[in-house]
Amino acid sequence: MKKNSNSDLPQARKPYTPRATQNRILEEHLNGKSIRKIAKMTGLDRGTVSRTLSQRELVEIVEEQRSRLFEMIPEAVSVMGSTLRSNDERLAASVAITMTKGTGILPKNIEMPEPERDRQRDQDAVMGQIIQMGMTKAVRYGTRLPDSLIEALRSVKETLEAYEAHNPRAAIASPDTSEF
């Protein structure tokens, strides 16, 4: 009886799935989609998607990408830590929420309310810009500002100083009224 050599064995066929479809399957898999969802999106059988993802070439690509991501973890943790300690409270809160969702402390499907735009604050900001322009022109052209505007500036300065006293992380430049 003759032993079968490797050359006598049938060769594994190449997949019929087009390269573009394989790339899409891999992309969706790397983006966290399940085999079932990928099959539904591509119109392929789940077995075809599974076989495509188990091809040696694609498995190596996935492992290489995972390895690269694991190498970046210490740097990402460092960036998150410095962001949490930043003076920008909105940015720090956003990172904190993302981290707590990612670790499972908060459910991933929880909807965090967006901060509502404060119409009065927006109007105050525009008025502040107008006052700043007036102050700049008064200094540039050597004119005196009206007493009512100087009084308003002093009031703004007092309000900002009081705000900073209660919120030490806030750094707001107070207007200099000594020149007027």
Region 115-126 average pLDDT: 68
CB-based contacts of 150, cutoff 8 Å, min separation 6 = 177, 180
What pLDDT shows up at residue 36? Answer: 94
At 167, the pLDDT band (50, 70, 90 cuts) reads: low
What pLDDT shows up at residue 176? Answer: 56
What pLDDT shows up at residue 137? Answer: 74
What pLDDT shows up at residue 46? Answer: 92
What pLDDT shows up at residue 85? Answer: 86
Q: In whole angstroms, what is the distance from residue 176 CA to residue 135 CA?
A: 9
The DSSP secondary structure of 13-73, one letter per residue, reads PPPSS-HHHHHHHHHHHHTT--HHHHHHHHT--HHHHHHHHTSHHHHHHHHHHHHHHHHHH
- For the chain, the domains span 19-102, 119-166
Q: What is the pLDDT of residues 51-107, one digit of tens each?
A: 888 888 878 888 888 888 888 888 888 888 888 888 888 788 888 878 777 776 666
Q: In whole angstroms, what is the distance from residue 147 CA to residue 109 CA?
A: 55
**What SS3 string covers 118-154?**
CHHHHHHHHHHHHHHHHHHHHHHHCCCCCHHHHHHHH
Region 134-155 average pLDDT: 75
More confident residue, 139 or 176: 139
More confident residue, 113 or 35: 35
Q: Is the dihedral of CA 137, 139, 144, 149 positive or negative?
A: positive
Q: What is the pLDDT of residues 3-47, one digit of tens each?
A: 555 556 666 556 678 888 888 888 888 888 999 999 999 999 999
What pLDDT shows up at residue 40? Answer: 93
